[in-house]
Amino acid sequence: MSSLTHNVTLNVNFISKHTRLKPKVAVILGSGLGALADSLSDAVAFGYHELPHFPETTVAGHRGRLIVGRLEGRPVALFDGRIHFYEGHPMWQVAFPVYVAHKMGASTLIVTNAAGGINPAFAPGTIMLIRDHINLTGTSPLIGPNAPELGPRFPSMRDAYDPGLRESARRVAAAAGIAVAEGVYVAMIGPQYETDAELQMLSHLGADAVGMSTVPEVIAARHAGMRSLGISVIANAAVPSASADGLVEEPSHESVQEVVRGASGDVLTLVRGVVGMLEG
């Protein structure tokens, strides 16, 4: 058994001692989206520091706790606080929560994040369903010996973002009167924001939004055979300053969190609605 599998099993055993719920869905919350965590019923919360070998999150706006509870009656594992590669964690640890949730029984992953809007039509506050991603982190959570009990050595990334889940999200959005865009998310390693030249490159590559997360978790989910839905909140314009009319405001972590908090009610409605539409 690999040490990754061993650590996953330790967590599953620990969590199972405190709750009988077997989560069907894993939700990973991005910056400023922690409010969802407070809306679970039958909830049991674990600080990441309480969980065996669980990485700690160090970023403001990421609380660092796992809540197992019910959302729309469905058992979910909600990770309030994401682990980022730029915090210095090895890539396999960034994806660790996904494997823990999968081992507990989750077959669906919902990830939310804050992102910069490369597509000039995506103003701050836009909610974008991720159609596909470009991994520009230069690495992968699957680097290292493969643990065959977790997934195959060379997993497919076709439909990494499940079309059916996206369709559910569109239906929930339409019913609730929430406008949603759709696009390609590119992951950079961070933690610095992009230069103008990088933004120009990302635009040429076909990306609509840029961020520093999500891609590792979705790669791991696909590896484990899970379906994924990705929801980005466009928090700032990520366009070269020379290309826009007037001065483009530079992103800051505080302004990013503020814009995301403004959209969090709608994101919560989408997540809740999609979870409610899942079978079983």
Binding site for ligand HPA (CB under 6 A): 114-116, 188, 193-194, 210-212, 235-236, 238, 251, 256
Specify whether the CB–CB gap between 214 and 230 falls below 8 A.
yes
Annotation marks residue 16 as catalytic: no
Q: Nearer to ligand HPA by C-beta: 151 or 251?
A: 251
**Least distance in angstroms from the C-beta of 228 to ligand HPA:** 19
Catalytic: 72?
no
CA distance 206 to 56: 33
Residue that the structure tokens 């090895």 belong to: 90
CB of 221 to ligand HPA, least distance (A): 21
- The span from the CA of 174 to the CA of 230, in Å, is 17
212 in active site: yes
Q: Which two tokens stand for residue 18?
A: 């405190």
Q: Which of 72, 87, 182, 198 is catalytic?
A: 87
CA atoms of 236 and 233, how far apart (whole Å): 9
Q: Is the dihedral of CA 262, 266, 269, 273 positive or negative?
A: negative
Q: Which is nearer to ligand HPA, 181 or 212 (CB)?
A: 212
| CA–CA separation, 192 and 212 (whole Å) | 9
Residue of this chain nearest to ligand HPA (CB atom): 116
Q: How far is the CB of 142 from ligand HPA (least distance, A)?
A: 23
Task: Provide the minimum distance between the beta carbon of 192 and ligand HPA in the complex, in angstroms, as a whole number.
Answer: 9
Residues labelled as active-site residues? 31, 62, 84, 86-87, 114, 212-213, 236, 253
